[in-house]
C-alpha cells in the first residue's frame, strides 16, 4: 500500500473518532457541561455507558439505535455527525494531499460542523468556536500559506464581520430588529480571516445563495400554511416566467413582466417576514458553511 492510501485509512478512522468527540462537544455546549467530565452517560436514564457503547457508527448499529439499558432511542445525530466528520476529513485530504493545509482544513471543517449542528438543533452558536476559527485562519495565512497572506487575512476578518453586521442591522429598516443573530457576525469575520478580503465577498455571496436554496422553500411553505395567497401565486408566476425564459434576453416584454413580478414578489416576501413571528427561526451558519465549502472545493486550485 502506498503512503497516500495508508494515510487515507488513518484519516478516515480519525474522522470517525473525532466525530464521536464532536457529538460530545455539541451535547455539552448545548447543556453547559464540561467537555471532559463526567464520563459519557445516557441522557435519559443517566446510566454510565460501557466502552463498546462508544464506538463510532458501529455501536449505533449494534445497539440498533437504542440505549442498552433503558431502550431510549439514540439520536440519529450521533452516526450522522461521525460519518460527516469522516467524509469532510477525507475530502480535505483528497483536495490538499499530504500537507499542513490538510491539517488546517480539518480544523476549519471541524469548527464548521460543530457550529452548524448547534445552530440547526438549538439556534445556538458558541462564539468561542468562531473566535478559534478566526485565530486558525490568521495563523494559516500568516504562515505563508492560505488564500491571501497576513494582511489580507486581517482585512478579511474586518470586512467579513462588517458586511454581516450591516446585513444584520439592515433588518431595523423594515422589520425593526436585527435580521440575523450576533453569532453570524462572528462566523463571517472568521471566514474573512480564512479566505482574506479578496475572497470574503464571494464566499458570503455563496452563503446567501445557499440560504436561498434552503430557506426560501421553507419560507414559501410557511406562507402557504399561513394562507398568504399573494406570495404563493406571485412565486409560482415568477418561477414559471423564469423557466419560459430561454437563451439571451430577446423579448423585452417578457423581461418587463419578469422585473415587475420580481419586484411584487420581493415586496410581498418582506411583508410576510414582518408579520412572521418565527422570523428568527432560520439558521444562517449552515448556509455560511455551505458557501465556505463550495468556495474551497470549486474556486481554489492548489
Ligand atoms: Zn438509557
Determine the pLDDT at residue 284: 86
Q: From the CA of 16, how far away is ligand 1's center (Å)?
A: 23
Q: Hey, how many other C-beta atoms are within 10 angstroms of the C-beta on 135?
A: 12
Q: From the CA of 113, how far away is ligand 1's center (Å)?
A: 26
pTM of the model: 0.82
Determine the pLDDT at residue 101: 93
How long, in residues, is the chain?
302
Determine the pLDDT at residue 238: 78
Determine the pLDDT at residue 134: 97
In this structure, which residues have their CB less than 5 angstroms from ion ligand 1?
42, 44-45, 67, 69-70, 72
For residue 169, what is its C-alpha cell?
442591522
DSSP classification of residue 38: S
Determine the pLDDT at residue 260: 86
Q: What is the mean pLDDT of each run of 10 residues along the chain (302 residues)?
A: 91 95 86 64 84 89 92 91 97 93 96 94 88 96 86 95 89 74 92 95 90 74 75 80 66 78 76 60 84 90 57
> Cα separations (Å) of 100 from 37, 107, 144, 257, 263?
31, 11, 11, 53, 48
H helical segments located in the chain: 3-31, 58-62, 77-96, 100-122, 127-142, 149-169, 171-174, 182-195, 197-225, 229-243, 252-275, 285-298
Query: Which residues lie closer than 8 Å to 91 by C-beta, 6 or more apart?
Result: 297
Q: Is 98 left (phi over 0), alpha (psi -120 to 50) or beta?
A: beta
Determine the pLDDT at residue 211: 82
Amino acid at each position: 500500500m502506498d503512503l497516500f492510501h495508508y494515510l487515507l485509512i488513518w484519516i478516515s478512522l480519525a474522522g470517525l473518532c473525532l466525530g464521536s468527540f464532536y457529538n460530545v462537544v455539541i451535547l455539552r455546549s448545548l447543556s453547559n457541561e464540561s467537555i471532559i467530565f463526567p464520563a459519557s452517560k445516557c441522557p435519559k436514564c443517566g446510566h454510565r455507558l460501557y466502552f463498546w457503547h462508544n464506538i463510532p457508527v458501529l455501536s449505533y448499529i449494534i445497539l440498533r439505535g437504542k440505549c442498552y439499558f433503558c431502550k431510549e432511542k439514540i439520536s440519529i445525530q450521533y452516526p450522522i455527525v461521525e460519518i460527516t466528520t469522516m467524509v469532510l476529513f477525507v475530502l480535505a485530504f483528497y483536495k490538499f494531499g499530504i500537507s499542513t493545509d490538510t491539517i488546517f482544513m480539518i480544523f476549519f471543517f471541524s469548527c464548521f460542523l460543530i457550529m452548524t449542528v448547534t445552530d440547526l438543533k438549538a439556534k445556538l452558536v458558541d462564539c468561542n468556536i468562531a473566535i478559534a476559527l478566526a485565530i486558525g485562519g490568521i495563523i494559516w495565512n500568516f504562515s505563508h500559506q492560505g488564500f491571501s497572506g497576513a494582511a489580507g487575512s486581517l482585512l478579511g476578518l474586518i470586512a467579513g464581520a462588517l458586511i454581516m453586521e450591516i446585513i444584520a442591522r439592515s433588518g431595523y429598516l423594515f422589520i425593526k430588529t436585527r435580521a440575523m443573530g450576533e453569532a453570524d457576525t462572528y462566523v463571517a469575520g472568521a471566514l474573512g480571516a480564512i479566505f482574506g478580503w479578496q475572497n470574503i465577498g464571494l464566499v458570503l455571496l455563496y452563503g446567501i445563495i445557499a440560504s436561498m436554496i434552503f430557506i426560501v422553500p421553507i419560507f414559501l411553505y410557511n406562507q402557504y400554511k399561513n394562507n398568504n395567497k399573494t406570495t404563493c401565486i406571485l412565486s409560482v408566476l415568477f418561477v414559471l416566467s423564469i423557466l419560459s425564459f430561454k437563451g439571451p434576453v430577446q423579448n423585452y416584454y417578457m423581461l418587463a413582466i419578469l422585473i415587475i413580478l420580481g419586484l411584487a414578489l420581493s415586496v410581498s416576501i418582506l411583508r410576510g417576514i414582518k408579520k412572521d413571528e418565527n422570523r428568527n427561526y432560520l439558521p444562517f451558519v449552515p448556509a455560511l458553511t455551505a458557501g465556505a465549502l463550495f468556495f474551497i472545493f470549486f474556486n481554489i486550485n492548489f
